[in-house]
A and B are shown apart, each in its own frame.
Chain A
Amino acid sequence: GENVEQHPSTLSVQEGDSAVIKCTYSDSASNYFPWYKQELGKRPQLIIDIRSNVGEKKDQRIAVTLNKTAKHFSLHITETQPEDSAVYFCAASKYSGGSNYKLTFGKGTLLTVNP
């Protein structure tokens, strides 16, 4: 099955700095790569995603890049703010039919943005 490795497990940055979280995946057939943000005590929420036919996607201060050859993808957050502090999870999946999308998650990165 798919295996997703995520690094680092913790990341501390100063407000205004950039943060980068990296993930690698094992199944070359995976074609969908979302990132979820989980604030303390809350449910995970999708913040950005990318498909295998795209190399980069941006949404305001966040961006995701994908290198299919190397089987890795990264989350980039620029101009970090204290409200960016949360656990971030990467995930990978390949479409398996119907409305079922079976995601394999990384172990998460605890991002702390210091004011």
Chain B
Amino acid sequence: DGGITQSPKYLFRKEGQNVTLSCEQNLNHDAMYWYRQDPGQGLRLIYYSQIVNDFQKGDIAEGYSVSREKKESFPLTVTSAQKNPTAFYLCASTGFATNEKLFFGSGTQLSVL
């Protein structure tokens, strides 16, 4: 289960609070992604980053922010502007050696108190 690590496994957010989900990889992958998973909705792309200090919005970026200060790390902040944050969040990465194959973390379940 090594390679890409997400923490925490469970996270609770209070009204009006920002929370940050951690994603770290030791695969030397250049590209990293954040997906949101809701029951019956598949995986929807929030943000992605091809290289350090660069990232692009995915299909559902509103209410989220990211940073990519290090190749290994791609934290996701769920801001108070995200009105329906309860979901399972998956981080993933890809690299030149592995082509298009996404390596996923084990996920973070975010719930609202």
- A residues near B, CB below 8 A? 1, 6, 9, 32, 34, 36, 42-46, 49, 89, 93, 95, 97-108
Q: Do residues A107 and B30 form an inter-chain contact, with CB atoms below 8 A?
A: no
Q: Do residues A46 and B59 form an inter-chain contact, with CB atoms below 8 A?
A: no
Choose one: B30, B35, B58, B90; the contact of A99 (CB below 8 Å).
B30
- B residues near A, CB below 8 A? 29-31, 35, 40-45, 48, 50-51, 58-59, 90, 94-96, 99-102, 104-107
B30 CB contacts on chain A under 8 angstroms:
98-100
A108 CB contacts on chain B under 8 angstroms:
40, 42
Given A43-B107, A44-B90, A46-B101, are A99 and B29 neighbors across the interface (CB < 8 Å)?
Answer: yes
Can you offer 15 A-B residue contacts whose CB atoms are under 8 A?
A34-B101, A34-B102, A44-B104, A49-B100, A95-B100, A98-B51, A99-B29, A99-B94, A99-B96, A100-B30, A100-B94, A101-B102, A102-B48, A105-B35, A105-B42
In the bound complex, what is the Cα–Cα distance between A100 and B51 (angstroms)?
Answer: 9
